[in-house]
Structure 1
Amino acid sequence: MARLPNIRHVTLHDGVLENNYDLGRKFDPIDEQDTSAQADILIQVLSRPMLWEEARWIQPSEFIWPGVPSRLLVDIPLALGEMDSLVIDQLSIHVSAAPDYTTMQLSRDDRDKLSDAIKRLDLLQFSFSPRCRSGCGPWIKNGEENDTIRTASEMEIINEYLAAIFNAGCIAHADVNLGEFWYSLGLKSMLAAPASVGIGFMWPPGSDLRSIHLTEISVTTMQLGALAAALGIGSEVSLFLVHIRVGSWRDALQTLRDGLRNPQSVSIRHPIGGEVQNLTEDQIESAFGSRQAEEGTKAECYAMGRMIENPLDEPS
């Protein structure tokens, strides 16, 4: 890669990027008498590398789960960072969800090395979106229970991994999308998440972060406050289907307003949790649905400091 001077965007993936269902098993019909063609197809199917998500559908096994090379999420950026002549603008991680993220086993030294590697690459944009392939499984027989739940330890590892990348301090634009991650086997939705994940870490002082898009992550109001404080002047924030597990959206709006510095834009769509369930449909529509002005909804305008009253303080 160092010999290719025009490389600017590196994407890590183990499936078709254009859709979330194709596993590479589809073939045109062949004559049933053509045994040679049938053999070729069988070889292609059986020799195709297993997606990480496919391993998830197999019950925990001492042979299968530890064999999934989740450490590549660390080792590949480390290898890229070792090349002095390699500068990458954007790194996108779209590998399907690993069966067990604790196998990454991030030590303090690992995290420091990962931060240094990202800094040497001078990475500008970062995208993290574990994929879920709907064509995978289920390979569990009817009536059998699946005990492969996601654990709080896995959430912690993911947070530590993301923290190490952002601690490089050079990333200006970020996109963390866990929308498909939740539907990989183990959790039915982010509402069942055992811990916050996505931005559950301390942001580095002096960060260059100017814009961030968060989709279907589970957070606390304090974590949103820490994010707001880490963003630079004139920042852009997008929260889509974000779930507040601790705190309220009323406090979240206040926290964003207090922490953001003259933001260019704030987008809040389909908020979840955070006592939203206690609001009427009219209240939700008034605060988060109807646009107040060109700048956005009442909630967005308040978070940007362009409206005096917190819309969730308004009487019903």
Structure 2
Amino acid sequence: MTCHEDLVKLLAGQFVRADVSLRELQARADRAGGTRLPRTTCADMLAGRRFPKKAVMVAFLKGCRVPDHQLPAWERAWERVRVNQMPAGSKEHHSVESSHGTPLAAPIMAAPGSTGTARAGGRRWRQAALLTAVAAPTAAATLSVIIVQGVTPQRGASEGVADPVVNPAHIVSDDGRAFPRGGWSRFTVTVDPANTGVRLIRRLDAGVGLQHATITVDGTPAAQWRPLLEDSIYKWRNQIVTIPPNLTTGRRSLTIVNTCVSSSGFNEFLYTVEHKVNGVWSTADTVDIGRDHTASEAAHDYRVVGEDWADTQTFAYPPRKEAWSVQ
């Protein structure tokens, strides 16, 4: 591991295997004391938008229940990545220290009067620093264990889906709601009356398998959210349902009711409504579900009956984008 992308891959793998929400990670860090783990900081770190401080990364790994004896290897890996990010010859570059408080390598000084001394010396120092960090046998052994664990197949994974450590997935945090069999949700969306078809696209947590619900449009049975197999690794999916045109054409608004008929319950995080106008599909409306999106819920007259869960989840979509959406 020598670059930021590699670090993000491994951290994402630990997070997916820990199967824990960012809210719980934050709570674990608060209970342990020391470095705090705000959810936004973790989300940025896992999405690769922010390079973490070493203390933040260690607190994150502890929250994911990574064993203490593996943490020194992670710290050395962090140092390699940090050194690799810095311009050769910078003051910060020379001051990076190992987890034991000693420099990774001493700068190589060029002889006075030599040609290109600063640039060449910087390159040699950088190579020496990286070689010194990579050469630590304990770190190499421990990281190899992490990688081997990462490629072990996990129960519940779809056949052919790559491991998150090897293929980084698209990680998303979103809040949503869920309700059991007999519960239902309702919302109203706007569409173009000139439409010749409407599609509902629902973001769901596929870690809960076999979710099944019926759909009515303005009180008329229209379609079903068919059960999907559980995926305990890449939990986000976008499920697509097509509404019959005779229930949508000529109407400016549609009232959708989803009624759960499965024992596993039904969850919902985001609805995207697409309509087909003049032969082209486009987005007509969006309903964002959850406690942090009550304005969107109110704007769409959202209501849920029998709710038994409401919270924020951070999961990964499959590495291949074409696998994000299912019928």
TM surpasses 0.5: no
Provide TM-score, normalisation by structure 1: 0.25
Larger Cα Rg: Structure 1 or Structure 2?
Answer: 2
